[in-house]
Amino acid sequence: MQAYVYKSQRKQDTFIYLAQRDVFDVIPATLSATLAPFTFVLEVALTPERRLAQVDAALVRANLAEHGFHLQLPPQPLAPVKIARIDGRDD
């Protein structure tokens, strides 16, 4: 399965995968209004062996088959780690 990846120009690190190149009408209007305009980034073959950096390729294939698109949001920031102080104070 081919996927066409577009980057949102409004939301940093947000990508839309499409099943068909430049077919944006499969994206709900409210979502498109929030993220558009889009810039083409990549065409990729999503084979069962394909691994993607930030998302499960099987999930992308399923969403493309069912909805015609897949939304990839930026990763959630990590919570700060609290490290105990040696002197026992709680700052």
Domain spans, the chain: 2-72
Instruction: Kindly report the pTM of this predicted structure.
Output: 0.79
- At residue 9, does pLDDT exceed 70? yes
Is residue 20 pLDDT above 90, yes or no?
yes
Q: Which CATH architecture has domain 2-72?
A: Roll (3.10)
Q: How many CB atoms lie within 10 A of CB 79?
A: 6
- Structure tokens given for 30: 């409210």
DSSP state of 37: S
Number of H helices, E strands in the chain: 2, 4
Read off the pLDDT of residues 52-73 as tens digits, 9 standing for 90 and up. Answer: 888 889 999 999 999 999 999 9
